[in-house]
Amino acid sequence: MNFVLRPHLVDRSRSFPVGSVHPGFQPRIAARDVPLLAVEAVSLWFGGTVALDAVDLSVRAGEIHAVIGPNGAGKSSLINVISGLYRPDSGSIRIGEDRFARVPTRRLARLGVARTFQNLALFRGLTVFETVTTGLVDRISAGLGAQILGLPQARCEARALRERAEAVIALLDLDEYRNRLAGTLPYGVQKRVELARALAPMPRLLLLDEPMAGMTATEKQRMSDDIRAVRDATGATIVLIEHDVGVVMSLSDSVTVLDHGQRIAFGAPREIQANPAVIAAYLGATADEVAA
64, 44 Cβ separation under 8 angstroms: no
Looking at this protein, which amino acid is placed at residue 116?
T
For residue 69, state whether it binds ligand ATP (rule: CB under 6 A).
yes
Choosing from 75, 164, 192, 263, the residue that interacts with ligand ATP (CB under 6 A) is: 75
Tell me the C-alpha distance between 132 and 62, whole Å: 23
Query: How, if at all, do strands 49-60 and 35-46 pair?
Result: antiparallel
The answer to whether 55 contacts ligand ATP (rule: CB under 6 A) is no
Which residue, 7 or 72, is less far from ligand ATP as judged by CB? 72
Does 263 participate in binding ligand ATP (rule CB under 6 A)? no
Smallest distance from ligand ATP to CB 50, Å: 8
Nearer to ligand ATP, 154 or 251 (CB): 251
Q: Encode 134-172: b = buried (16+ Cβ within 10 Å), e = exposed.
A: ebbeebeebeeebeeeeeeebeebbeebebbbbbbbbbb
Q: Which of 39, 77, 133, 189 binds ligand ATP (CB under 6 A)?
A: 77
Question: What's the min distance (Å) between Cβ of 52 and ligand ATP?
Answer: 8
Residue 76 found at the interface with ligand ATP (CB under 6 A): yes
214 binds ligand ATP (CB under 6 A): no
**What's the closest the beta carbon of residue 54 comes to ligand ATP, in angstroms?**
15
For 65, phi and psi rounded to 5 degrees?
-120, 125
Please report whether residue 71 would count as binding ligand ATP according to CB under 6 A. Answer: yes
74 binds ligand ATP (CB under 6 A): yes
CA distance 270 to 218: 24
CA neighbours within 13 Å on the CB side: how many for 116? 30
The residue ranges that bind ligand ATP (CB under 6 A) are 46, 49, 51, 69, 71-77
